[in-house]
């Protein structure tokens, strides 16, 4: 009996390890962001805990500095003759799935430096957020960073009715507040470090077939959040550039409808609007996006975004 149990356990372990390795090798699941979070008041909702340095499912390094921003340490004090740019947005700005030096934020700073200009480009992005969260986050960070130029990256998935809110678990991870997981929080760091866990979540999502929250009918709320970013930016003397990024989702006609409205809003507000589908494609060119991912650019996609934004920064 014991031998039978041992054989079954061994076979199960072998199957589990094989599946884990196969999923990792084939990259049929998206990467993860292995950072911990803290709760924040109001619509900001949460922020990355400062001082982290961790590797993702596929080995991507994620550093969080003392200000809770991705990247190395940067002093808030301004340097004379250096133009400061702040980039606001979600996981695309953060650089989900790519190394820090491959994000378009870092690439943009490199491009400007090669042209002999003094620029700092700050990454204010955070994953799992939308424009409601960004507005509140900018209200906290802008007086500290005091940028000369603010770039706001808008995606179709910013078309939501309210800020994203998650439960901050006892181990600092994000959890859906409407679901009770069949395991304790203490298991989360291990589970989230496995490809099998993310594959299981993807399967569950497809089975449930949840209706998308992203609707053009929510556009008025998106515009109000942009207005809530533009006003404090201008009070600090910061110009604003609004950029829209396309992806494999949504269908081209829906993305086009969004950019039409954003372009009109930018013209009315005397701001620059950049439609990044000109370099990413509409729908997004799969060669510029991560495998098994409809939203996040790969290093080549980030490089294309940086090249497209550089003239508008200068």
How far apart CA 307 and CA 248 sit, in angstroms, is 20
Radius of gyration of the chain measured on its C-alpha atoms = 21
Listed in sequence order, the residues at least 6 apart from 182 whose beta carbon sits closer than 8 Å to its beta carbon are: none
Grade residue 123 by pLDDT with cuts at 50, 70 and 90. Answer: very high
Segments of the chain assigned E as strands:
37-39, 46-48, 52-55, 61-64, 83-88, 119-123, 149-154, 167-168, 174-175, 239-244, 272-275
Average pLDDT on 155-162 reads 96
What pLDDT shows up at residue 182?
87
How, if at all, do strands 149-154 and 167-168 pair? Answer: unpaired
Confidence (pTM): 0.94
How far apart CA 96 and CA 33 sit, in angstroms, is 7
Q: Pick one of 3.40.50.1110, 3.40.50.300, 3.40.50.150, 3.40.50.970 as the CATH number of 37-313.
A: 3.40.50.1110
% of the chain at pLDDT higher than 70: 98
Average pLDDT on 208-217 reads 77
The residue with greater pLDDT, 214 or 202, is: 214
% of the chain at pLDDT higher than 90: 77
Q: Which of 156-160, 192-196, 251-255, 294-298 has the lowest mean pLDDT?
A: 192-196
What pLDDT shows up at residue 211?
60
Measured torsion, CA atoms of residues 21, 206, 174, 192, in degrees rounded to the nearest 10: -10
pLDDT in tens, 47-99: 999 999 999 999 999 999 999 999 999 999 988 889 999 999 999 999 999 99
Q: Which of 36-40, 185-189, 296-300 has the lowest mean pLDDT?
A: 185-189
Q: Is the pLDDT of residue 181 over 90?
A: no
Average model confidence (pLDDT) for the chain? 93
Domain segments of the chain as ranges: 37-313
Average pLDDT on 112-132 reads 93
Listed in sequence order, the residues at least 6 apart from 89 whose beta carbon sits closer than 8 Å to its beta carbon are: 124, 125, 134, 152, 153, 154, 155
Q: Is the pLDDT of residue 165 over 70?
A: yes
CB 295 within 8 A of CB 247: yes
Grade residue 200 by pLDDT with cuts at 50, 70 and 90. Answer: confident
């Amino acid at each position: 009996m014991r031998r039978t149990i041992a054989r079954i356990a061994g076979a199960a372990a072998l199957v589990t390890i094989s599946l884990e390795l196969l999923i990792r090798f084939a990259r049929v699941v998206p990467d993860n962001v292995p950072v911990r979070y803290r709760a924040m008041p109001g619509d900001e909702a949460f922020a990355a805990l400062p001082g982290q340095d961790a590797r993702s499912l596929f080995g991507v390094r994620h550093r969080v500095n003392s200000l809770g921003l991705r990247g190395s340490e940067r002093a808030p004090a301004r340097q004379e003759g250096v133009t400061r740019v702040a980039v606001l947005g979600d996981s695309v700005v953060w650089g989900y799935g790519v190394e820090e030096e491959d994000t378009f934020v870092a690439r943009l700073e490199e491009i400007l430096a090669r042209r002999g200009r003094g620029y700092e480009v700050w990454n204010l992005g955070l994953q799992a957020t939308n424009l409601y969260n960004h507005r509140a986050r900018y209200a906290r960070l802008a007086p500290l960073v005091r940028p000369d130029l603010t770039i706001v990256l808008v995606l179709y998935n910013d078309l939501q009715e309210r800020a994203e809110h998650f439960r901050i678990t006892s181990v600092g991870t994000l959890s859906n507040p409407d679901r009770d997981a069949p395991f304790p929080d203490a298991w989360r760091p291990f589970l989230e470090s496995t490809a099998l866990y993310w594959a299981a979540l993807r399967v569950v999502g497809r089975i449930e077939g949840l209706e998308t929250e992203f609707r053009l009918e929510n556009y008025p709320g998106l515009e109000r959040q942009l207005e809530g970013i533009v006003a404090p930016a201008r009070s600090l003397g910061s110009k604003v550039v609004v950029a829209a990024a396309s992806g494999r989702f949504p269908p081209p006609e829906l993305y086009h409808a969004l950019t039409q409205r954003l372009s009109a809003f930018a013209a009315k507000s005397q701001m620059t609007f950049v439609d990044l589908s000109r370099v990413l494609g509409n729908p997004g060119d799969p060669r510029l996006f991560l495998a098994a991912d409809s939203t996040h650019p790969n290093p080549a996609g980030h490089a294309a975004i940086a090249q497209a934004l550089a003239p508008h920064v200068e």
